[in-house]
Structure 1
Amino acid sequence: MQRQWTTFATSGAPLASWPQYDESRRATMVFDEISRVVDDPEREKRIAWEGYDGYRGQSL
């Protein structure tokens, strides 16, 4: 994580292993013992709220 943020701070972009976010893919970097990119990790929670009248399309 530190290397990703340091690279971002010095160059304006993270390492290539952290893809640019777009709403269709919702690629999210998960920092753990082994960091990885997960597409739409909160999909089930987000979809559960889509029929709710107060849903505004915001990420949970």
Structure 2
Amino acid sequence: MTMQAAASSEKASSGGYWSTVLTRPVLSWSLYDLANTVFSMSIVSLILPLWVLDNGGAG
């Protein structure tokens, strides 16, 4: 086992679940995923239907 793996294993076992989950990379990815979901939902739900109707979909 390398020194880094041993330190990582010790950190995970001593800090518990939340200290492992609430790290900067995990929180960063979570915020990115939330923002990406909100953005794509707003484009598909709001902007795309208006664009389709405006560009010949209704008339």
> Into which bin does the TM-score normalised by the smaller protein fall?
under 0.3
- Normalising to structure 1: TM-score of the pair? 0.25
Greater RCO, CA 8 A, separation 6+: 1
**With structure 2 as the length reference, what TM-score do the two structures score?**
0.25
Higher helix share: 2
Which has more radius of gyration?
A: 2
